[in-house]
Amino acid sequence: MPLDTLPDTVRVLGPVEGRAAEVLTPEALSLVAELHRALDGRRKTLLKQREARQVRFDNGDLPDFRADTAEIRAGDWTVAPIPADLLDRRVEITGPTDRKMVINALNSGARVFMADFEDATSPTWANVVEGQINLKDRWSGDLAYSDPASGKAYSLGDTPAVLLVRPRGWHLLERHVEVDGEPVAGGLFDFALYLTHNAKAALDQGSGPYFYFPKLESMEEAALWDDACRIAQSRLGLPVGTIKATILIETITAAFEMDEILFALKDHIVGLNCGRWDYIFSTIKRLGLNPDFLTPDRARMVMGEAFLSAYSRKLIATCHRRGAFAMGGMAAQIPIKSDEAANAAAFAKVQADKEREAGYGHDGTWVAHPALVPVAMEVFNRLMPRPNQLDVFGDGAGLGQSDLLEMHKGPRTEAGLRENIRVGIQYIEAWLNGRGAVPLYNLMEDAATAEISRTQVWQWLKHAATLDDGRTVDEALVRALIEDEVTRMPPGLERLAEAVALFTQLCFAQTCESFLTLPAYEVLDG
Protein backbone atom coordinates (compact mmCIF):
# COMPACT_ATOMS: atom_id res chain seq x y z
CA MET A 1 0.00 0.00 0.00
CA PRO A 2 1.75 3.23 -1.09
CA LEU A 3 2.07 6.31 1.10
CA ASP A 4 -0.45 8.26 -0.96
CA THR A 5 -3.15 5.94 0.36
CA LEU A 6 -2.66 7.25 3.91
CA PRO A 7 -5.53 9.31 5.28
CA ASP A 8 -5.07 13.07 5.08
CA THR A 9 -4.77 13.15 8.87
CA VAL A 10 -1.34 11.45 8.66
CA ARG A 11 1.18 13.54 6.74
CA VAL A 12 4.86 12.92 5.97
CA LEU A 13 6.44 16.34 5.44
CA GLY A 14 9.99 15.13 4.88
CA PRO A 15 11.18 13.81 1.50
CA VAL A 16 10.54 10.13 0.82
CA GLU A 17 13.54 9.31 -1.35
CA GLY A 18 15.69 6.31 -2.09
CA ARG A 19 14.89 3.50 0.31
CA ALA A 20 12.85 5.68 2.69
CA ALA A 21 9.58 4.13 1.52
CA GLU A 22 10.77 0.79 2.93
CA VAL A 23 10.44 2.11 6.48
CA LEU A 24 7.86 4.89 5.99
CA THR A 25 5.16 2.36 5.26
CA PRO A 26 1.44 2.82 5.88
CA GLU A 27 1.59 0.05 8.49
CA ALA A 28 4.35 1.77 10.44
CA LEU A 29 2.80 5.21 10.15
CA SER A 30 -0.61 3.93 11.22
CA LEU A 31 1.02 2.65 14.42
CA VAL A 32 2.64 6.07 14.87
CA ALA A 33 -0.81 7.63 14.49
CA GLU A 34 -2.43 5.21 16.95
CA LEU A 35 0.23 5.85 19.56
CA HIS A 36 0.04 9.61 19.02
CA ARG A 37 -3.72 9.72 19.44
CA ALA A 38 -3.69 7.52 22.51
CA LEU A 39 -0.73 9.03 24.35
CA ASP A 40 0.25 12.50 23.17
CA GLY A 41 -2.16 14.33 25.47
CA ARG A 42 -0.64 12.58 28.48
CA ARG A 43 2.86 13.25 27.17
CA LYS A 44 2.17 16.97 27.04
CA THR A 45 0.63 16.93 30.52
CA LEU A 46 3.68 15.16 31.92
CA LEU A 47 5.99 17.72 30.32
CA LYS A 48 3.93 20.46 31.99
CA GLN A 49 4.37 18.63 35.28
CA ARG A 50 8.13 18.79 34.77
CA GLU A 51 7.85 22.56 34.44
CA ALA A 52 5.74 22.82 37.60
CA ARG A 53 8.23 20.70 39.50
CA GLN A 54 11.06 22.96 38.33
CA VAL A 55 9.29 25.96 39.84
CA ARG A 56 9.16 24.16 43.18
CA PHE A 57 12.86 23.29 42.99
CA ASP A 58 13.69 26.90 42.10
CA ASN A 59 11.82 27.91 45.26
CA GLY A 60 13.87 25.61 47.46
CA ASP A 61 12.18 22.20 47.34
CA LEU A 62 14.45 19.17 47.09
CA PRO A 63 13.87 15.79 45.41
CA ASP A 64 12.74 13.11 47.83
CA PHE A 65 11.02 9.73 47.93
CA ARG A 66 7.27 9.93 47.32
CA ALA A 67 4.86 9.42 50.21
CA ASP A 68 2.06 8.29 47.89
CA THR A 69 4.07 5.35 46.54
CA ALA A 70 5.47 3.99 49.80
CA GLU A 71 3.50 0.75 49.34
CA ILE A 72 5.23 0.08 46.03
CA ARG A 73 8.66 0.51 47.62
CA ALA A 74 7.70 -1.74 50.54
CA GLY A 75 5.96 -4.40 48.44
CA ASP A 76 7.34 -7.84 47.65
CA TRP A 77 7.26 -8.02 43.84
CA THR A 78 9.64 -8.66 40.97
CA VAL A 79 9.82 -7.84 37.28
CA ALA A 80 8.86 -10.38 34.61
CA PRO A 81 11.44 -12.99 33.50
CA ILE A 82 14.36 -11.79 31.39
CA PRO A 83 14.96 -13.25 27.89
CA ALA A 84 17.90 -15.62 27.50
CA ASP A 85 19.93 -13.35 25.21
CA LEU A 86 19.80 -10.52 27.76
CA LEU A 87 21.02 -12.53 30.76
CA ASP A 88 24.68 -11.61 30.13
CA ARG A 89 25.20 -7.91 29.42
CA ARG A 90 28.66 -7.46 30.86
CA VAL A 91 29.82 -4.99 28.21
CA GLU A 92 27.56 -2.78 26.10
CA ILE A 93 28.65 -0.38 23.39
CA THR A 94 26.58 2.61 22.32
CA GLY A 95 26.61 4.85 19.31
CA PRO A 96 24.68 6.46 16.47
CA THR A 97 22.70 4.61 13.83
CA ASP A 98 24.78 5.36 10.73
CA ARG A 99 25.63 2.28 8.72
CA LYS A 100 29.35 1.82 9.34
CA MET A 101 28.94 2.59 13.05
CA VAL A 102 26.17 0.02 13.39
CA ILE A 103 28.24 -2.71 11.74
CA ASN A 104 31.36 -1.92 13.76
CA ALA A 105 29.41 -1.82 17.03
CA LEU A 106 27.61 -5.09 16.34
CA ASN A 107 30.97 -6.67 15.50
CA SER A 108 32.86 -5.08 18.41
CA GLY A 109 32.81 -8.08 20.75
CA ALA A 110 30.45 -6.34 23.16
CA ARG A 111 27.48 -8.36 24.40
CA VAL A 112 25.00 -5.57 23.56
CA PHE A 113 24.88 -2.65 21.14
CA MET A 114 22.56 0.24 21.89
CA ALA A 115 21.71 1.98 18.63
CA ASP A 116 20.98 5.52 19.72
CA PHE A 117 18.45 7.84 18.08
CA GLU A 118 18.76 10.17 21.06
CA ASP A 119 21.96 11.68 22.51
CA ALA A 120 24.29 10.27 19.85
CA THR A 121 22.18 11.25 16.84
CA SER A 122 21.52 14.66 15.39
CA PRO A 123 17.88 14.15 14.33
CA THR A 124 17.98 15.34 10.75
CA TRP A 125 15.30 13.64 8.67
CA ALA A 126 17.99 11.80 6.70
CA ASN A 127 19.70 10.53 9.86
CA VAL A 128 16.44 9.30 11.39
CA VAL A 129 15.21 7.53 8.25
CA GLU A 130 18.59 6.06 7.31
CA GLY A 131 19.01 4.79 10.85
CA GLN A 132 15.76 2.85 10.56
CA ILE A 133 16.84 1.40 7.21
CA ASN A 134 20.15 0.27 8.73
CA LEU A 135 18.43 -1.47 11.64
CA LYS A 136 15.95 -3.11 9.31
CA ASP A 137 18.86 -4.42 7.25
CA ARG A 138 20.41 -5.91 10.37
CA TRP A 139 17.43 -8.24 10.80
CA SER A 140 16.89 -8.93 7.09
CA GLY A 141 20.51 -10.00 6.62
CA ASP A 142 21.36 -7.14 4.28
CA LEU A 143 23.64 -5.08 6.52
CA ALA A 144 26.84 -4.34 4.59
CA TYR A 145 28.76 -1.18 3.70
CA SER A 146 31.53 -0.17 1.33
CA ASP A 147 33.39 2.96 2.37
CA PRO A 148 33.63 5.22 -0.70
CA ALA A 149 36.69 6.97 0.71
CA SER A 150 38.82 3.93 1.56
CA GLY A 151 37.14 1.22 -0.48
CA LYS A 152 37.01 -0.93 2.65
CA ALA A 153 34.06 -3.34 2.88
CA TYR A 154 32.15 -3.90 6.11
CA SER A 155 29.71 -6.73 6.84
CA LEU A 156 28.01 -8.28 9.83
CA GLY A 157 30.00 -10.98 11.63
CA ASP A 158 28.80 -14.37 12.83
CA THR A 159 28.23 -13.38 16.48
CA PRO A 160 26.84 -9.85 16.54
CA ALA A 161 25.96 -8.08 19.75
CA VAL A 162 22.36 -8.14 20.94
CA LEU A 163 20.64 -5.05 19.54
CA LEU A 164 18.81 -2.56 21.73
CA VAL A 165 17.40 0.68 20.35
CA ARG A 166 17.11 4.01 22.17
CA PRO A 167 14.32 6.19 20.79
CA ARG A 168 14.20 9.89 21.53
CA GLY A 169 13.00 11.23 24.88
CA TRP A 170 9.49 12.48 25.60
CA HIS A 171 10.50 16.13 25.10
CA LEU A 172 11.61 15.81 21.46
CA LEU A 173 9.32 16.09 18.44
CA GLU A 174 9.58 14.68 14.93
CA ARG A 175 8.50 17.69 12.90
CA HIS A 176 8.50 15.79 9.60
CA VAL A 177 5.47 13.66 10.52
CA GLU A 178 2.11 15.09 11.57
CA VAL A 179 -1.00 13.38 12.84
CA ASP A 180 -4.21 15.42 12.98
CA GLY A 181 -2.18 18.55 12.24
CA GLU A 182 0.31 18.09 15.08
CA PRO A 183 3.93 16.88 15.00
CA VAL A 184 4.40 13.49 16.60
CA ALA A 185 6.73 12.66 19.48
CA GLY A 186 10.13 11.66 18.15
CA GLY A 187 10.30 8.75 20.57
CA LEU A 188 6.99 7.26 19.43
CA PHE A 189 8.05 7.63 15.80
CA ASP A 190 11.38 5.84 16.41
CA PHE A 191 9.70 3.15 18.52
CA ALA A 192 6.87 2.45 16.08
CA LEU A 193 9.04 2.19 12.97
CA TYR A 194 11.59 -0.10 14.58
CA LEU A 195 8.90 -2.38 16.05
CA THR A 196 6.83 -2.61 12.89
CA HIS A 197 9.73 -3.66 10.70
CA ASN A 198 11.82 -5.74 13.09
CA ALA A 199 9.92 -7.22 16.04
CA LYS A 200 8.93 -10.48 14.37
CA ALA A 201 12.24 -10.88 12.52
CA ALA A 202 14.16 -10.42 15.78
CA LEU A 203 11.95 -12.96 17.55
CA ASP A 204 12.37 -15.45 14.71
CA GLN A 205 16.14 -15.14 15.11
CA GLY A 206 16.11 -15.86 18.83
CA SER A 207 16.14 -12.28 20.07
CA GLY A 208 13.37 -9.73 20.41
CA PRO A 209 12.31 -6.08 20.25
CA TYR A 210 14.53 -4.56 22.91
CA PHE A 211 14.79 -0.89 23.86
CA TYR A 212 16.44 1.67 26.11
CA PHE A 213 14.00 4.42 27.16
CA PRO A 214 15.69 7.75 28.04
CA LYS A 215 15.25 10.84 30.18
CA LEU A 216 12.35 9.60 32.35
CA GLU A 217 11.59 11.75 35.39
CA SER A 218 8.76 9.86 37.10
CA MET A 219 6.84 6.60 37.30
CA GLU A 220 4.03 8.26 35.33
CA GLU A 221 6.42 8.82 32.44
CA ALA A 222 7.44 5.16 32.70
CA ALA A 223 3.77 4.15 32.67
CA LEU A 224 3.36 6.10 29.44
CA TRP A 225 6.01 3.90 27.82
CA ASP A 226 4.33 0.84 29.30
CA ASP A 227 1.09 1.82 27.57
CA ALA A 228 3.00 2.41 24.33
CA CYS A 229 4.32 -1.14 24.61
CA ARG A 230 0.84 -2.56 25.20
CA ILE A 231 -0.73 -0.66 22.30
CA ALA A 232 2.06 -1.68 19.92
CA GLN A 233 2.00 -5.32 21.01
CA SER A 234 -1.76 -5.47 20.49
CA ARG A 235 -1.47 -3.88 17.03
CA LEU A 236 1.33 -6.25 15.96
CA GLY A 237 -0.18 -9.39 17.46
CA LEU A 238 2.56 -9.86 20.05
CA PRO A 239 1.95 -11.17 23.58
CA VAL A 240 2.19 -8.72 26.48
CA GLY A 241 5.78 -8.64 27.68
CA THR A 242 7.37 -9.34 24.29
CA ILE A 243 8.91 -5.88 24.27
CA LYS A 244 11.72 -5.58 26.80
CA ALA A 245 13.20 -2.30 27.93
CA THR A 246 16.01 -0.95 30.06
CA ILE A 247 15.47 2.47 31.61
CA LEU A 248 18.24 5.01 31.94
CA ILE A 249 18.24 6.62 35.36
CA GLU A 250 19.71 9.88 34.15
CA THR A 251 17.58 12.43 35.97
CA ILE A 252 17.80 13.37 39.64
CA THR A 253 14.04 12.93 40.08
CA ALA A 254 14.05 9.40 38.63
CA ALA A 255 16.66 8.37 41.20
CA PHE A 256 14.00 8.80 43.87
CA GLU A 257 11.47 6.71 41.89
CA MET A 258 13.51 3.69 40.81
CA ASP A 259 11.21 1.18 42.50
CA GLU A 260 8.19 2.93 41.05
CA ILE A 261 9.63 2.99 37.52
CA LEU A 262 10.39 -0.73 37.72
CA PHE A 263 6.86 -1.35 38.98
CA ALA A 264 5.20 0.74 36.27
CA LEU A 265 7.00 -1.27 33.58
CA LYS A 266 7.32 -4.59 35.38
CA ASP A 267 5.95 -6.67 32.47
CA HIS A 268 8.35 -5.03 30.03
CA ILE A 269 11.43 -4.00 31.98
CA VAL A 270 14.70 -5.88 32.44
CA GLY A 271 16.85 -3.31 34.20
CA LEU A 272 18.02 0.20 34.97
CA ASN A 273 21.20 1.95 33.86
CA CYS A 274 23.35 4.67 35.43
CA GLY A 275 23.29 7.41 32.80
CA ARG A 276 26.01 9.34 34.57
CA TRP A 277 26.53 12.31 32.24
CA ASP A 278 22.86 13.19 31.90
CA TYR A 279 22.49 12.65 35.64
CA ILE A 280 25.05 15.39 36.33
CA PHE A 281 23.27 17.63 33.81
CA SER A 282 19.89 16.92 35.40
CA THR A 283 21.20 17.71 38.87
CA ILE A 284 22.60 21.05 37.74
CA LYS A 285 19.42 21.91 35.83
CA ARG A 286 17.01 20.91 38.57
CA LEU A 287 18.91 22.31 41.57
CA GLY A 288 21.02 24.94 39.83
CA LEU A 289 19.58 27.95 41.65
CA ASN A 290 20.22 26.42 45.06
CA PRO A 291 23.63 27.58 46.35
CA ASP A 292 24.06 24.30 48.25
CA PHE A 293 24.41 22.51 44.90
CA LEU A 294 27.06 24.67 43.25
CA THR A 295 29.15 22.18 41.29
CA PRO A 296 32.93 21.86 41.00
CA ASP A 297 34.72 21.21 37.71
CA ARG A 298 33.05 18.46 35.68
CA ALA A 299 36.22 16.37 35.91
CA ARG A 300 35.94 16.32 39.72
CA MET A 301 32.47 14.72 39.68
CA VAL A 302 33.46 11.06 39.55
CA MET A 303 31.38 7.93 40.09
CA GLY A 304 33.21 6.82 43.22
CA GLU A 305 32.17 9.85 45.27
CA ALA A 306 29.21 11.80 46.65
CA PHE A 307 25.82 11.68 44.89
CA LEU A 308 27.10 9.70 41.91
CA SER A 309 28.39 6.89 44.11
CA ALA A 310 25.20 6.91 46.17
CA TYR A 311 22.89 6.68 43.19
CA SER A 312 24.93 3.90 41.62
CA ARG A 313 24.78 1.82 44.80
CA LYS A 314 21.11 2.60 45.37
CA LEU A 315 20.33 1.51 41.82
CA ILE A 316 22.05 -1.85 42.35
CA ALA A 317 20.19 -2.61 45.57
CA THR A 318 16.85 -1.54 44.10
CA CYS A 319 17.20 -3.47 40.85
CA HIS A 320 18.51 -6.70 42.33
CA ARG A 321 15.75 -6.79 44.92
CA ARG A 322 13.29 -6.76 42.01
CA GLY A 323 15.11 -9.27 39.78
CA ALA A 324 16.24 -6.56 37.35
CA PHE A 325 19.70 -5.75 36.04
CA ALA A 326 21.73 -2.79 37.29
CA MET A 327 23.89 -1.51 34.45
CA GLY A 328 26.90 0.70 35.02
CA GLY A 329 27.81 3.93 33.29
CA MET A 330 29.68 5.12 30.24
CA ALA A 331 33.41 5.15 29.63
CA ALA A 332 33.71 7.93 27.05
CA GLN A 333 37.46 7.61 26.42
CA ILE A 334 38.70 6.94 22.90
CA PRO A 335 42.18 5.80 21.81
CA ILE A 336 44.93 8.44 21.82
CA LYS A 337 46.93 7.24 18.83
CA SER A 338 49.50 10.01 18.96
CA ASP A 339 50.59 9.50 22.58
CA GLU A 340 51.19 5.98 23.88
CA ALA A 341 51.69 7.07 27.49
CA ALA A 342 48.51 9.17 27.51
CA ASN A 343 46.61 6.31 25.92
CA ALA A 344 47.82 3.87 28.57
CA ALA A 345 46.81 6.29 31.32
CA ALA A 346 43.34 6.73 29.82
CA PHE A 347 42.81 2.99 29.53
CA ALA A 348 44.01 2.50 33.11
CA LYS A 349 41.41 5.02 34.23
CA VAL A 350 38.72 3.05 32.40
CA GLN A 351 39.91 -0.17 33.99
CA ALA A 352 39.72 1.33 37.48
CA ASP A 353 36.24 2.70 36.81
CA LYS A 354 35.00 -0.68 35.60
CA GLU A 355 36.58 -2.45 38.58
CA ARG A 356 34.62 -0.13 40.86
CA GLU A 357 31.38 -0.91 38.99
CA ALA A 358 31.91 -4.66 39.07
CA GLY A 359 32.89 -4.43 42.73
CA TYR A 360 29.75 -2.50 43.61
CA GLY A 361 27.62 -5.22 42.00
CA HIS A 362 26.72 -3.86 38.57
CA ASP A 363 25.76 -6.48 35.97
CA GLY A 364 27.59 -4.77 33.13
CA THR A 365 28.85 -1.47 31.83
CA TRP A 366 28.95 0.90 28.84
CA VAL A 367 31.76 1.93 26.52
CA ALA A 368 31.74 4.41 23.65
CA HIS A 369 34.49 2.97 21.45
CA PRO A 370 35.27 -0.58 20.24
CA ALA A 371 38.84 -0.30 21.55
CA LEU A 372 37.47 -0.17 25.09
CA VAL A 373 35.45 -3.36 24.77
CA PRO A 374 38.42 -5.63 25.64
CA VAL A 375 39.36 -3.42 28.60
CA ALA A 376 35.88 -3.57 30.12
CA MET A 377 35.41 -7.21 29.18
CA GLU A 378 38.61 -8.25 30.97
CA VAL A 379 37.44 -6.55 34.17
CA PHE A 380 33.97 -8.09 34.17
CA ASN A 381 35.26 -11.52 33.13
CA ARG A 382 37.68 -11.40 36.05
CA LEU A 383 35.37 -9.95 38.70
CA MET A 384 32.03 -11.33 37.44
CA PRO A 385 32.62 -14.88 36.17
CA ARG A 386 28.86 -15.54 36.20
CA PRO A 387 26.48 -14.03 33.62
CA ASN A 388 25.30 -11.35 36.07
CA GLN A 389 25.27 -10.35 39.74
CA LEU A 390 21.56 -10.39 40.51
CA ASP A 391 22.32 -11.93 43.91
CA VAL A 392 24.63 -9.07 44.95
CA PHE A 393 22.78 -6.32 46.79
CA GLY A 394 25.67 -4.21 48.07
CA ASP A 395 25.24 -1.47 50.63
CA GLY A 396 22.80 0.79 48.80
CA ALA A 397 19.45 -0.24 50.29
CA GLY A 398 19.70 2.10 53.27
CA LEU A 399 20.87 5.17 51.38
CA GLY A 400 18.48 8.08 51.77
CA GLN A 401 17.76 11.57 50.53
CA SER A 402 20.85 13.19 52.02
CA ASP A 403 23.13 10.57 50.43
CA LEU A 404 21.57 11.01 46.99
CA LEU A 405 21.98 14.78 47.28
CA GLU A 406 25.53 14.92 48.65
CA MET A 407 27.34 17.42 46.45
CA HIS A 408 30.76 16.66 45.01
CA LYS A 409 33.67 18.66 46.39
CA GLY A 410 36.45 20.30 44.45
CA PRO A 411 37.60 23.55 42.89
CA ARG A 412 36.14 25.54 40.04
CA THR A 413 38.95 26.44 37.69
CA GLU A 414 39.58 28.48 34.56
CA ALA A 415 40.64 25.24 32.88
CA GLY A 416 37.28 23.67 33.75
CA LEU A 417 35.42 26.72 32.48
CA ARG A 418 37.40 26.71 29.23
CA GLU A 419 36.75 22.99 28.75
CA ASN A 420 33.01 23.58 29.07
CA ILE A 421 33.17 26.37 26.51
CA ARG A 422 35.19 24.55 23.85
CA VAL A 423 33.35 21.23 24.24
CA GLY A 424 29.92 22.85 24.32
CA ILE A 425 30.47 25.05 21.28
CA GLN A 426 32.19 22.43 19.13
CA TYR A 427 29.59 19.80 19.98
CA ILE A 428 26.72 22.13 19.05
CA GLU A 429 28.49 22.98 15.78
CA ALA A 430 28.82 19.30 14.92
CA TRP A 431 25.20 18.63 15.91
CA LEU A 432 23.98 21.41 13.62
CA ASN A 433 25.98 19.70 10.86
CA GLY A 434 24.19 16.42 11.48
CA ARG A 435 26.68 14.63 13.75
CA GLY A 436 25.55 13.57 17.21
CA ALA A 437 28.58 11.61 18.46
CA VAL A 438 31.74 13.71 18.24
CA PRO A 439 35.33 12.89 19.28
CA LEU A 440 36.68 15.91 21.15
CA TYR A 441 39.87 16.03 23.23
CA ASN A 442 40.15 12.24 23.53
CA LEU A 443 36.55 11.70 24.65
CA MET A 444 33.48 10.70 22.66
CA GLU A 445 31.06 13.51 23.39
CA ASP A 446 27.32 13.40 22.86
CA ALA A 447 24.43 15.67 23.77
CA ALA A 448 24.68 14.76 27.46
CA THR A 449 28.20 16.12 27.92
CA ALA A 450 27.35 19.27 25.96
CA GLU A 451 24.40 19.72 28.33
CA ILE A 452 26.76 19.60 31.32
CA SER A 453 29.01 22.15 29.63
CA ARG A 454 26.36 24.81 29.05
CA THR A 455 24.39 24.27 32.30
CA GLN A 456 27.53 24.43 34.42
CA VAL A 457 28.56 27.75 32.86
CA TRP A 458 24.96 28.97 33.41
CA GLN A 459 25.06 27.88 37.06
CA TRP A 460 28.44 29.43 37.80
CA LEU A 461 27.24 32.70 36.28
CA LYS A 462 24.01 32.65 38.30
CA HIS A 463 25.93 32.27 41.56
CA ALA A 464 28.87 34.47 40.58
CA ALA A 465 30.99 31.47 41.52
CA THR A 466 34.56 31.99 42.66
CA LEU A 467 37.35 30.25 40.76
CA ASP A 468 40.31 28.75 42.62
CA ASP A 469 42.39 31.80 41.65
CA GLY A 470 39.92 34.16 43.32
CA ARG A 471 38.25 35.54 40.19
CA THR A 472 34.48 35.73 39.93
CA VAL A 473 32.67 34.01 37.08
CA ASP A 474 30.82 36.92 35.52
CA GLU A 475 29.62 37.90 32.06
CA ALA A 476 32.83 39.72 31.15
CA LEU A 477 35.01 36.73 32.04
CA VAL A 478 32.84 34.20 30.21
CA ARG A 479 32.57 36.34 27.09
CA ALA A 480 36.34 36.86 27.05
CA LEU A 481 37.00 33.15 27.41
CA ILE A 482 34.47 32.30 24.68
CA GLU A 483 36.16 34.75 22.34
CA ASP A 484 39.59 33.34 23.13
CA GLU A 485 38.55 29.69 22.84
CA VAL A 486 36.87 30.31 19.49
CA THR A 487 40.16 31.61 18.07
CA ARG A 488 41.79 28.30 19.04
CA MET A 489 39.22 26.05 17.39
CA PRO A 490 40.16 24.14 14.25
CA PRO A 491 39.40 25.74 10.87
CA GLY A 492 36.53 24.67 8.68
CA LEU A 493 33.75 24.63 11.30
CA GLU A 494 30.94 25.63 8.96
CA ARG A 495 28.35 26.56 11.57
CA LEU A 496 30.64 27.92 14.26
CA ALA A 497 28.98 31.35 14.43
CA GLU A 498 25.57 29.75 14.99
CA ALA A 499 26.99 27.41 17.61
CA VAL A 500 28.66 30.26 19.48
CA ALA A 501 25.42 32.26 19.40
CA LEU A 502 23.34 29.36 20.72
CA PHE A 503 25.86 28.38 23.42
CA THR A 504 26.10 32.00 24.57
CA GLN A 505 22.32 32.37 24.58
CA LEU A 506 21.96 29.27 26.76
CA CYS A 507 24.68 30.31 29.20
CA PHE A 508 23.30 33.81 29.75
CA ALA A 509 19.62 32.85 29.78
CA GLN A 510 17.52 34.08 32.69
CA THR A 511 16.21 30.55 33.26
CA CYS A 512 17.89 27.27 32.40
CA GLU A 513 16.64 25.89 29.08
CA SER A 514 15.37 22.36 29.68
CA PHE A 515 17.33 20.83 26.77
CA LEU A 516 19.76 22.46 24.35
CA THR A 517 18.43 20.21 21.58
CA LEU A 518 15.08 22.05 21.66
CA PRO A 519 16.35 25.43 20.37
CA ALA A 520 18.99 23.63 18.30
CA TYR A 521 16.30 21.58 16.53
CA GLU A 522 14.66 24.82 15.42
CA VAL A 523 17.72 25.70 13.33
CA LEU A 524 18.75 22.17 12.33
CA ASP A 525 18.72 21.72 8.56
CA GLY A 526 16.92 18.73 7.13
Q: Which residues are catalytic?
A: 166, 446
Give the SS3 label for residue 145. Answer: strand
Is 478 in contact with 457 (CB distance < 8 Å)?
Answer: yes
Give the DSSP H/E element, type plus range, for residue 498. Answer: helix 496-507
- 268/263 Cα distance (integer angstroms): 10
- Map 400-454 to HEC letters: CHHHHCCCCCCCCCHHHHHHHHHHHHHHHHHHHCCCCCEEECCEEECHHHHHHHH
475-488 and 447-462 are packed helices; what angle lies between their axes, rounded to 10 degrees? 150
Is 466 in contact with 412 (CB distance < 8 Å)?
Answer: yes
- 304/360 Cα distance (integer angstroms): 10
- 406/296 Cα distance (integer angstroms): 13
Is 396 in contact with 317 (CB distance < 8 Å)?
Answer: yes
- 442/369 Cα distance (integer angstroms): 11
Whole-angstrom CA distances from 222 to 38, 51, 69, 107, 507 are: 15, 17, 14, 31, 31
